[in-house]
Amino acid sequence: MELYFAPGSPAARKVRIYLAEKGIQVTEHEQHRGFLPIEEIAPLNPNLTIPVMHDGDLPLFDSQVMVAYILEKYPSVLDAEPPLLPTLVRADHKWRDANLLATLQTLSVSLEHIHALGTLGGLSDETVPYLARERTRVDSILDWLDGQASPEGFAPGWFSLMDIMFIVHIQFSETRNGLQWQGRNNLDRLFHALADRPSVAQTVFPWMA
């Protein structure tokens, strides 16, 4: 199994956490050259994006697809408490979990937009209303998530995809963008509980430590 990804990629880290939870060995190809040349990435993914995962001759192009594939093909897990949720959503909370995943995905996109605009320099909320809108969206989502979370996670009794999406995007944006998200009691406690889980701690990128 091989995984191609950009340095610090939260999407790739999500996949790496699942691989670690299941004890699956993977050859990692971390790209350090910014955007891969078109002629190099096109054979990997017609979408011209990474992460990309290959399991033998099978390519997988999206991190959510990779997670679903890992859960289905590799059902065994390492011992850990709470145990890894073996599905993307819980059958008895299907639509609640689906809403959580959709909202966390929106959070990830907004944080990526804020990061991308921040790299341009000279932009502010006053000069770019869209940037202000994205910051407002992030705060709105975090406030809502705080009401949905418990200190034990978004799916108490399980280590879930919701938990993983939350921790990888918050840690990335906190370190890279200086995101100020603290002060929400449930999210504060959940963050610290998740950060100590071995699969989360061992997949932290060096510059985030």
Kindly list the structural domains of the chain, giving each domain's residue range(s) and its CATH number in brackets, ordered by start: 2-73 (3.40.30.10), 91-208 (1.20.1050.10)
DSSP 205: -
CB atoms within 10 A of CB 190: 23
- How far apart, in whole angstroms, are the C-alpha atoms of residue 168 and residue 162? 10
Task: Supply the pLDDT for residue 11.
Answer: 94
Residue partners of 95: CB distance under 8 A and separation at least 6:
none
- Do residues 143 and 187 make contact, with C-beta atoms less than 8 angstroms apart? no
- Do residues 131 and 117 make contact, with C-beta atoms less than 8 angstroms apart? yes
Residue partners of 94: CB distance under 8 A and separation at least 6:
none
What are the start-end ranges of the H helices in 10-118? Answer: 10-21, 38-41, 63-73, 94-118
pLDDT digits (tens, 9 = 90+) for 15-31: 999 999 999 999 998 88
- How far apart, in whole angstroms, are the C-alpha atoms of residue 20 and residue 24? 6
- How far apart, in whole angstroms, are the C-alpha atoms of residue 71 and residue 65? 10
| Confidence (pTM) | 0.91
> How do beta strands 27-30 and 2-5 pair?
parallel
pLDDT digits (tens, 9 = 90+) for 63-109: 999 999 999 999 888 888 999 999 999 999 999 999 999 999 999 99
